[in-house]
Structure 1
Amino acid sequence: MTTEAVPQDAATPIPAPATEWPQGAAEWQRVSPSYAWADLIVNLVLVLVAGVVPTVLVLLNAEDPLIPLLIIGAIVLVLLVNSLFAFRRVRAIGYILREDDLLFRRGIMFERIVAVPYGRLQLVDVTRGPLLRALGLATLKFVTASAATGVQLPGLRVDEAEALRDRLVALAETRRSGL
């Protein structure tokens, strides 16, 4: 059995390779690598609070030290795995400003790509907690009419976040859709 090549019609678009979906030729803009340290610190604090308090309580009331040692071992294991993935998680965060919308991407195993149309933006907010302030970073939050959108772009340098906020507000004003 032979297969013949089917000629392409000039009007038929050729689909983009899967590696270029959905951004086309545009490059993903990355957040600051310094954000990995903030991500790591926050996760370490959460794990420590969730693990150290029960461990101390068990140590104070336990006659058998095996259970507290297993808990401490589990905490150390979680901290190590978390520290290994913190920097990779941050590298997975990116955005692209397209003609009609902003694409936002995050996630390692379960990648999430959200398109936020400029005309649907209701609020663009720059927030900075104490840890992000110490690192010179900010989080850009987008609010639309959809409650499911909930896009937050963390780890931007402050000047980059403010410039992006101003640009998005200007684009939203020019493309305002009826709500």
Structure 2
Amino acid sequence: MTDVTQPDAPADLFDPLGVDWTPVSPRLASARLIVTAIWMGPLLLAGVALAALTQVAWLWSFPALVLALVVWITVLVPRQVRAMRYAERADDLLVRRGIMFRQLVVVPYGRMQYVDVTAGPLARKLGIASVQLHTASPATTATIDGLPPQEAARLRDRLASRGEARLAGL
């Protein structure tokens, strides 16, 4: 009887051995919470105003539901941001995210077509940017949100040069 287990197999599917993960900026959580407040604040105020003006008791369930959702998002978003990480390896880029539903995206440098760096007004105010990698397959595009602008520029340049080097060999 032979042992079919592999001693070099990673202990966790989403945490390969020997990978140094780089976390995203915690300011991403602030950006997402501000967007939540912008959307949920008016809903909460409208629900409270409607319930108070009509004096119908069951209408208070709507603002209570919105408030419960805001509390849930406030607890969940920082945990989600802490779970987001990326790693550069010799031949590919790894992007990991998720708490309950985990995702690990592996993008070989030779498959990259171009790299985008974006930052909206709120992201610029908070000092963060996003890097998006595009490949020939739309299913394998990877996005890294919440990077400091200097890191986003460094990563963009490094990924572009690595992608060109890998494509030159084809």
Match of 1:176 in 2: 167
Match of 1:100 in 2: 91
Selected match of 1:55 from 42, 47, 51 = 47
Instruction: Report the secondary structure of 1:70's partner residue.
Output: helix
Selected match of 1:38 from 7, 11, 31 = 31
User: Structure 1 CA distance, aligned partners of 2:54 and 2:100?
Assistant: 42
**Count of aligned positions:** 170
User: Structure 2 CA distance, aligned partners of 1:121 and 1:55?
Assistant: 47
Match of 1:3 in 2: none
Instruction: Report the secondary structure of 1:148's partner residue.
Output: helix
Q: Deviations over 1:45-82 (max 9, x none)?
A: 33345x3486278549x745223211111111111111
Runs of 4+ in 1 over 6 A off after TM superposition: none
CA RMSD of aligned residues (A): 2.8
Which 5+ residue runs of structure 1 have no aligned equivalent? 1-5
Which 5+ residue runs of structure 2 have no aligned equivalent? none
Moved more, 64-73 or 137-146: 64-73
User: Structure 2 CA distance, aligned partners of 1:165 and 1:107?
Assistant: 23
Higher-Rg member (1/2): 1
Q: Deviations over 1:127-146 (max 9, x none)?
A: 01011100111000111111
Match of 1:137 in 2: 128
User: Structure 2 CA distance, aligned partners of 1:170 and 1:111?
Assistant: 29
Match of 2:16 in 1: 23
User: Structure 1 CA distance, aligned partners of 2:86 and 2:100?
Assistant: 18
Match of 2:148 in 1: 157
User: Structure 1 CA distance, aligned partners of 2:31 and 2:44?
Assistant: 20
Tell me if the contact between 2:14 and 2:102 (Cα under 8 Å) persists in the aligned partners. Answer: no
Q: Give the letter aligned to residue 72 of structure 1.
A: P
User: Structure 2 CA distance, aligned partners of 1:178 and 1:18?
Assistant: 33
| 1:69 counterpart = 2:60 | yes
Q: CA deviation at 1:21?
A: 5.1
Moved more, 51-60 or 68-77: 51-60
So what's the TM-score if we normalise by structure 2?
0.86
Q: CA deviation at 1:92?
A: 0.7
Match of 1:111 in 2: 102
Write 1 or 2 for the structure with the bigger share of helix: 2
Instruction: Report the secondary structure of 1:95's partner residue.
Output: strand
Note closer, same or farther for the CA distance 1:111–1:63 as it changes in structure 2 (3 Å cut).
same
